[in-house]
C-alpha cells in the first residue's frame, strides 16, 4: 500500500511538472510571437518613413529642376524659383524645348557673323583702292574678333608683323589724305597696339623669370636631399664601425 501511495504521488508530481512545463512553453511561444509582431510593425513603420523621405527628396529635386528651367527661360541669373506646377502641361509650355534653345543659339551666332561681315565691308569701303590700308584694317578686325572669342580678350599668340619701309611710306601717303578725326583715331589705335605689344613682352619676361626661379628652387631642393642622404649614409657607416 505504501509503495502504491508513493507511485501515485510521483505520478501526480510528474503530471504537475509536465503541466508547468507546457504552460511555460506556451508563454514563451506567445512572447516570441508578440516580439515578432512588434518587429514586423517596426519594420513596416521604418519602410513607410523611408519611402516618405525618399518621395520628399524626389519632389524637392523635381521642384528645383523645374525652377531652374523657368529661370533659364526667363533669362534671370538668380537662384531657382520655387514654382509648384499643378499640371504637367504647364511645365511643358513654360520650359523651352531643345529646338527652341538651338534656334536661339543659331540666331546669336548669325547676329555675331552679321556684325563681323559689316565690319569687314566698312573696312573695304574705307580702304578703297589702297591695298595696304585694306590689309591693315583687315588684320585689326581679325585681332578684335579673336580677342572677343578668347577668354576676356587675353593676350594673343599671333601679333601683327611690322610693316616694311615701302608699306610705311604708302601708309604715310594714305594717312595724309585722311580727315583730322580719322588721323586722331588711327593714332590712338597705334598707341594702344604699342602698349599691348609692350605688355605682352613684359608678361613674357615675367613668366620666364618665374619659370627660372621655379627650376632653381627645385634644383636647390634636390641638392639638399642628396646632401642629407649622403650624411645619413656616412653616419650609419660610422656607427657600424
Q: Indicate the DSSP class of residue 82.
A: -
The long-range contacts involving 157-163, CB below 8 angstroms and separated by at least 24 positions, are: 159/197, 159/200, 160/193, 163/132, 163/136
List the grid coordinates of 12: 501526480
Q: Which triple of cell numbers denotes residue 2?
A: 505504501
Determine the pLDDT at residue 82: 45
Look-up of cell digits 548669325: 110
Low-confidence residues in the chain, pLDDT < 70: 1-2, 49-52, 66-101, 116-178, 237, 240-241
Three-class DSSP category at 105: helix
For residue 200, the model assigns a pLDDT of: 82
Instruction: Look at residue 138 in the predicted model and tell me its pLDDT.
Output: 60
Q: What is the pLDDT, as a whole number, of residue 158?
A: 40
Amino acid at each position: 500500500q505504501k509503495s502504491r501511495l508513493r507511485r501515485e504521488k510521483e505520478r501526480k508530481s510528474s503530471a504537475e511538472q509536465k503541466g508547468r512545463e507546457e504552460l511555460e512553453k506556451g508563454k514563451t511561444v506567445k512572447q516570441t510571437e508578440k516580439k515578432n509582431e512588434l518587429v514586423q510593425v517596426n519594420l513596416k513603420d521604418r519602410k513607410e518613413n523611408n519611402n516618405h523621405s525618399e518621395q520628399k527628396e524626389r519632389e524637392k529635386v523635381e521642384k528645383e529642376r523645374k525652377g531652374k528651367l523657368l529661370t533659364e527661360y526667363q533669362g534671370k541669373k538668380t537662384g531657382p524659383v520655387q514654382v509648384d506646377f499643378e499640371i504637367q502641361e504647364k511645365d511643358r509650355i513654360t520650359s523651352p524645348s531643345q529646338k527652341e534653345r538651338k534656334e536661339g543659339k543659331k540666331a546669336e551666332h548669325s547676329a555675331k557673323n552679321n556684325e563681323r561681315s559689316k565690319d569687314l565691308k566698312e573696312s573695304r569701303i574705307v580702304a578703297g583702292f589702297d591695298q595696304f590700308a585694306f590689309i591693315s584694317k583687315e588684320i585689326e578686325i581679325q585681332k578684335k574678333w579673336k580677342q572677343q572669342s578668347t577668354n576676356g580678350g587675353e593676350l594673343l599668340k599671333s601679333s601683327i608683323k611690322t610693316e616694311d619701309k615701302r608699306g610705311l611710306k604708302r601708309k604715310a601717303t594714305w594717312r595724309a589724305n585722311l580727315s583730322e578725326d580719322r588721323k586722331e583715331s588711327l593714332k590712338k589705335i597705334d598707341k594702344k597696339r604699342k602698349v599691348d605689344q609692350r605688355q605682352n613682352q613684359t608678361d613674357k619676361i615675367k613668366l620666364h623669370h618665374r619659370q627660372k626661379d621655379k627650376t632653381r628652387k627645385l634644383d636647390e631642393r634636390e641638392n639638399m636631399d642628396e646632401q642629407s642622404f649622403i650624411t645619413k649614409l656616412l653616419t650609419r657607416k660610422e656607427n657600424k664601425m
